[in-house]
Chain A
Amino acid sequence: MNTAVKNVVIAGGGSIAWIAASALRRTLKSNGVEVTVVDSPEAGAPAARWTLPSQRGAHAQIALNEADFMRQAEATYRLGSEIRAWQTPNGGFLIAHGDIGAPIDVTPFYKYLLSRAMQGNAENPEMYSVVAGAARMGRFARPMGAGNDLSASFTYGYHLDERAYVMMLRAQAEKFGVRVVPGRIAAVDRREDGDIESLTLDDGQAVTGDLFLDCTGATGELISRLDDAPRLDWAHWLPCDRRLTAFMPPSAEPAALTRILASDAGWLFQAPLARANFVGHVYSSAHLTDEGALQVLLRIAGQLGTPPEITRFNSGRRAKFWLRNCIALGGSAVQIEPLAGADLHLAQLGLATLLELYPLDRRGGGEAQEFNRVVGEYADSLRDFTVAHYRLSKRPGAFWDTARTAEPPETLAVKLDLYGAGGRIDIRDHEVFEEGEWVWLLMGSGLMPRALEWQIARAVSGLKSQQASELRDYVARLVTSMPRHIDFLHRVRSTPANAPGANA
């Protein structure tokens, strides 16, 4: 059995376009699938980004060596984000890519901390977390150790320079035999039945295909011509609609951490790169002018190293990402502020779903409907996670009041209700984040359950404070035994390509 859909045309030249090109070509080469990328700019792509751990899997899928990647993409490691001043002016918490403590039999350790907090003995979960300790202390090592040991209790993502990353991904795609056609899209040509037949470029060349991926970013140059359905707008939950960014000189000793700091009309960020810092301000234009936003950033950052760039965006998603023979991935499908750093992750979940459902013929048999259902659930779960930051904030001010008081999406309301009533976190079929990430966010935001589930309360009551303090000590010892992030980076960046150990 083979597929009649041989010719895939990917519009857009950002990172998701190239990852999709390599993955499709590599996976479906035996089926005679050819991939062409129309290398045109991705609207609204950031100059640098922070990613989730899934980027490691994406790299494995397209055979990208980690040392090469770290060097060429100017990357640093990322153990999580620090979210500051969302609750109290000086308070902050981490959302880290790793565990808090170790399970008590089968009960997650955070339930013990909740139980202690309810008795008036609140402790900082970071004390029990290797990943948090490392992130705070500027340390980094790849997860190691066996099985359940805490030295294997975490994972990591990256900070990367988008332009350098894209160059690297393009070279990789070309290695797999992806055809590259530079040019801007002048017209989208339709067949009689309404499907896309070809893209006409600004030089008059027509690129025909059976299946088209729209990776053109916010403008959605293909999908928006097919889709007259209303977009699902998220602005009433997520009022930020501007991103002002610039580069600054690197920190002497960067932590493997993205720093997020609340402002009066949004939030500021600092993401360390190997030879720069990527900084910016994400804000609501209804609450702050562009000039005002720049002034706020300058007050915190001092001087910027490059002229600031301002990007507009509208939080929301398409009701359907797969329409006819066109599939939107990335910004053409979903736009959301980068608070959770999940843009690429979400696009890759879309790509993985596409590989499961790669069409066999032009007629199709439910693939588009399934794709739209599954990826829609993923997108909504990212929305919920992002909205929860605002819903649980305690920061005063007009912007924050607006975001906080918006009636949350039902799926989020249900999640917050269950946690608020009994400390339970239910993860449904297709969610971007697992219980672990939600715990960091919910505990960090200070949402305290009314009670604990009785069974859970009993399970954690067996843990003695002596055992807890031994666990804290063990975590501290592990953290201090880890190399400094900067040293680890130097070592990785100086690893020759293809050397043993160069792979993650």
Chain B
Amino acid sequence: MTAPLRLVIVGGGTAGWMTAAAFASTFRADQMRIRLIESSEIGIVGVGEATLPHIRFFNKRIGIDEQELMARTQATFKLGIEFCDWGRVGDSYVHPFGAFGTRAGPVPFHHLWLRQAREGKAKPIEEYSLPIVAARQNKFALPAENKDDIMSTFGFAFQFDASLYAAYLRTFAEQRGVVRTDGKIIDVKLRGDDGRVESVKLSDGSDVTGDLFIDCSGFRGLLIEQALKTGYDPWTKWLPCDRAVAMPCENAGRLTPYTRATAREAGWQWRIPLQHRMGNGYVYGSEFIGDDEAAARLSSRLDGKALAEPRFLRFTAGRRRRTWNRNVVAIGLAGGFLEPLESTSIHLIQVAITTLIDYLTEQSLADGGDFDPRIVDGFNRWIEMEYDRVRDFLILHYHATERDDAPIWNYCRNMQIPDSLAHKMELFRHRAHVVTYKDGLFLEPSWLAVYFGQRVMPEAYDPRVAAWSDEELTKWLGTMHARIAEGVMRMPAHEEFLAQYCPASAMPPKSEMPTMIAAKRPS
């Protein structure tokens, strides 16, 4: 038996503890020794309070009890994201976790809907999506197992307190053998022959050696960038926001089972309802608004009383050139940053973790981190694809707008978008065709929601729809509409469901930093 691989995780935010929890639940102690170094002097950038349904695969894979997780993180359910004021001021649409209608034969539903809508015989498309109808009525129930049941046509995710989530995962990971070291890294030692990271030096003078290092140190990329000079590709020309300010407030009104993203004069504002408070923030471009003004705007647009002073954050949208370089894998903000418009931050962390675990071979574990370059390249290609596909989808939100009331929207409306996105939009405008792919995030319903929601209206639809008679179509759509309406009627209110499923009342929040993207404390 060879010595266990020494895994060193640098940084203890969401990314760090998700990594620790996943590795600890996957590998035995005789295969891997996991140590996480975090400094209590350095605040975490708790990325992402809003998640995507994929997180449930992660939870299942590592053995997290979701009911307990929800109760401990003040969590609420999430059926989608409401986008306000994106196409035009006054517009609202929901990007749902579920499909629009049911496909009939080879033709996707939205083509059938378009034909009926043209003739004034269809309801708005969101009424053919169960999660949207439920979200609009603030209702929630768990999806049904039976695939024929209309109640099976949606998925869900969570909205939770990121700091509580990290704390929850920390307990989970430590119970499974992860050793936490409180310390600040002051130096990184590279090996002479191949430039790999050999050890990190802590401020108390001790050295921590390792075979594989996971850089979860946030934007600065302590290992991946400062030590290995990997390089970063900025996407600022398409995603011009480079700042955020966060400010939680008291809840007021009903707990919505969805996140809201409202387009503003210099970016957009998030609103994430948790059981004990509301998370809020303003993502903006520093070129378009000053920090103080952004904070003032945000605080004037809260649902309830502010619970903290504004916290600021700076970032550059983009991706690290190599997520895995030598024996360092960058996960979380160290690997890249895409604004949380579509709640992708935790998802991209999750993808990096699970892909890394899947790609690790017996050999690389046995040989003390002698990673086959073919595996490293394969991993990097995969992560690049994930980032690039999310990127295009985000750019669509900024570009597909008719707003001309602020410089940021004038810029985005007219900017040169990536060819891959221009091609997708052309095909949708021309004939409602959605370019789909097998791997990567955001399938057909996601693209449809944004296209329709932001007024990218197709000139035509799939000609094969002509094979349907008017009566057939009317019946198909009518039945679906009725089944969805009836299904939602039977669902309990979101608050009611939460109260019996995962009340957090007995567990007051421990964290002092309840923000989606909390700023760094002075270190």
Contact of A421 among B114, B378, B437 (CB under 8 A): B378
Decide yes or no whether A294 CB sits under 8 A from chain B.
Answer: no
A417 and B363 form a contact (CB under 8 A): no
Cβ-closest chain B residue relative to A26: B467
A367 and B467 form a contact (CB under 8 A): no
Residues of B within 8 A of A358 (CB): 463-464
Decide yes or no whether B475 CB sits under 8 A from chain A.
Answer: no
Decide yes or no whether A90 CB sits under 8 A from chain B.
Answer: no
Known: A370-B435, A420-B374, A422-B375. A2 touches B463 (CB 8 A): yes
Per-residue CB contact flags for chain A residues 178-222 toward chain B (1 = under 8 Å, else 0) read 000000000000000000000000000000000000000000000
What's the least CB distance linking B485 to chain A, in Å? 28
Q: Complex Cα distance A457/B358, Å?
A: 11
Contact of B438 among A364, A365, A429 (CB under 8 A): A429
B430 and A365 form a contact (CB under 8 A): yes
A369 and B378 form a contact (CB under 8 A): no
- Counting contact residues on chain B (CB < 8 A from A), the size range is 35 or more
Known: A358-B463, A451-B364. A366 touches B377 (CB 8 A): no
Contact of B423 among A356, A357, A370, A428 (CB under 8 A): A370
A residues 358-372 near B (Cβ < 8 Å) are 358, 360, 364-367, 369-370
Residues of B within 8 A of A417 (CB): 374, 377-378
B433 and A422 form a contact (CB under 8 A): no
Known: A356-B433, A455-B26. A28 touches B464 (CB 8 A): yes
Per-residue CB contact flags for chain B residues 413-441 toward chain A (1 = under 8 Å, else 0) read 00000000001001101110101011100
B381 and A366 form a contact (CB under 8 A): no
A453 and B358 form a contact (CB under 8 A): yes
Total number of A residues with any Cβ neighbor in B under 8 Å:
38
Q: Complex Cα distance A427/B106, Å?
A: 23
Q: Complex Cα distance A414/B376, Å?
A: 12
A418 and B438 form a contact (CB under 8 A): no
Known: A365-B429, A429-B439. A1 touches B463 (CB 8 A): yes
Decide yes or no whether B227 CB sits under 8 A from chain A.
Answer: no
What's the least CB distance linking A359 to chain B, in Å? 9
Contact of A451 among B363, B433, B461 (CB under 8 A): B363
What's the least CB distance linking B487 to chain A, in Å? 28
What's the least CB distance linking A140 to chain B, in Å? 30
Per-residue CB contact flags for chain A residues 337-370 toward chain B (1 = under 8 Å, else 0) read 0000000000000000001111010001111011
A421 and B375 form a contact (CB under 8 A): yes
Known: A429-B437, A455-B357. A27 touches B464 (CB 8 A): yes
Residues of A within 8 A of B365 (CB): 454
B466 and A31 form a contact (CB under 8 A): yes
B364 and A366 form a contact (CB under 8 A): no
Decide yes or no whether B362 CB sits under 8 A from chain A.
Answer: yes
What's the least CB distance linking B376 to chain A, in Å? 9
What's the least CB distance linking A424 to chain B, in Å? 7
Decide yes or no whether A123 CB sits under 8 A from chain B.
Answer: no
Q: Complex Cα distance A357/B460, Å?
A: 12
Pairs A-B, 6 closest by C-beta atoms: A365-B430, A451-B363, A451-B361, A417-B374, A421-B374, A30-B466
A to B CB contacts below 8 Å, 10 in the list: A356-B433, A364-B430, A414-B378, A417-B378, A418-B374, A421-B361, A426-B382, A450-B372, A451-B364, A457-B362
Which B residues are within 8 Å of any A CB, using their own CB? 26-27, 31, 106, 114-115, 118, 357-365, 372, 374-375, 377-378, 381-382, 423, 426-427, 429-431, 433, 435, 437-439, 459-467
